A = this chain, B = another copy of it.
Amino acid sequence: MPGEFDLIREYFEAATGPREDVLLGIGDDCALLRPPPGQILAVTSDTLVSGRHFAPDADPESLGHKALAVNLSDLAAMGARPAWASLCLTLPAADRDWLAAFMRGFAALAGRFDVSLVGGDTTRGPLAISLTLHGLLAPDQALRRDAARPGDALYVTGTLGDAGLALRLRQAGRPVPRVLAQRLDRPEPRVEIGRRLAGYARCAIDISDGLAADLGHVCARSGAGAVLEAARLPLSPPVRAHVAGRGDWGLPLSAGDDYELLFSVPPERQAAFERDSADWEVAVSRIGHIEAGSGVRLRQADGQCVEEIGGGYDHFSE
């Protein structure tokens, strides 16, 4: 069995993309990194645990993609440009094939977003992945959760509930359409959109915990309430069929694992934003607004309001 250092060297170094601001990468006590003058650092960490966030037999290449994608999504929600990653991998055994596939998935996504893997740790134990990702941005471009104001329009990228439906189908042993499986296994982080939002949006969050829960976080931190319009929620055909068939809004509102951006745009910028975003490669939908008060309400198509929707994925309350 190869030693830890061989493993690190062989597979991690293959994912160390070339960046001029990496003065020293993998192989010393620390990585040495040079932030550009005048920029600030955005840092996010996420852990994926086998049996909880993915099945023990999950495809390792998809897992390598997803471990990075969920963190890229957090940078996107802050409007930051991705830069450096540190990867802590805990593996039951030094399985070369598994590791090679994992790093292939990781490196492919890292290359697309100019992320350099600069350090980390490999240990033996129950399969888990903790990634810390660093991004860079101008200090006045941060899209914080606490910045929404009454009157702001709420928008979301892409469609809601696709990953949740894929997971339900898979867990039920039913076939999962490829387009849904991709949404669950290979989510596409909205990094470019996050950066473009700086000129328009006041506040952004990614909706990995589910739309209702994450909008709840925005409301709580911004000291405001929000109304969602059910008829405006962007749904893919299979999710639309599910909602229509069962009257169950749980999937688009709180299933989680959607790596889309939810953001608020103040009234004076809405026209420009809707005009400019019309030709973006990912659809953006206006789905409600921020109002005075607190909590999140869902307004049905008939105008009736359901008070205080909530829920979402909580790792400790299930």
Write the residues of chain A forming the contact surface with B, with a CB cutoff of 8 angstroms. 1-5, 7, 23-24, 27-35, 37, 40-53, 74-75, 77-78, 80, 84, 86-88, 90, 94, 118-126, 128, 130, 132, 134-135, 139, 142, 144-146, 204-206, 217, 221, 314-317
Supposing A27-B221, A145-B28 touch, asked if A33 and B40 sit within 8 A by C-beta, the answer is yes
In Å, the complex CA distance between A77 and B122 comes to 20
Q: Decide: B51 and A43 in contact? CB cutoff 8 A.
A: no
Rounded to whole Å, the gap between the CB of A207 and the closest CB of chain B is 11
Q: Decide: A130 and B121 in contact? CB cutoff 8 A.
A: yes
Q: Could you list some 10 contacts between A and B, CB below 8 A? A: A27-B221, A28-B145, A29-B78, A30-B42, A45-B88, A47-B123, A52-B124, A94-B316, A124-B315, A125-B128
In Å, the complex CA distance between A1 and B51 comes to 20
Rounded to whole Å, the gap between the CB of A96 and the closest CB of chain B is 11
Q: Decide: A142 and B315 in contact? CB cutoff 8 A.
A: no
**Closest 3 CB pairs between A and B?**
A49-B125, A130-B130, A30-B42
Rounded to whole Å, the gap between the CB of A197 and the closest CB of chain B is 13
Supposing A4-B316, A139-B23, A144-B24 touch, asked if A41 and B34 sit within 8 A by C-beta, the answer is yes
Q: Decide: A126 and B123 in contact? CB cutoff 8 A.
A: no
Residues of B within 8 A of A35 (CB): 35, 40-41
A3, A139, A146, A206 interface centre (most CB from chain B within 10 Å): A3
Supposing A29-B145, A122-B315, A314-B3 touch, asked if A84 and B43 sit within 8 A by C-beta, the answer is yes
Q: Decide: B119 and A45 in contact? CB cutoff 8 A.
A: yes
Q: Decide: B7 and A128 in contact? CB cutoff 8 A.
A: no
Residue of B nearest to A40 (CB): B34
Checking B29, B74, B316 against A3 with a beta-carbon cut-off of 8 angstroms, the contacting residue is B316
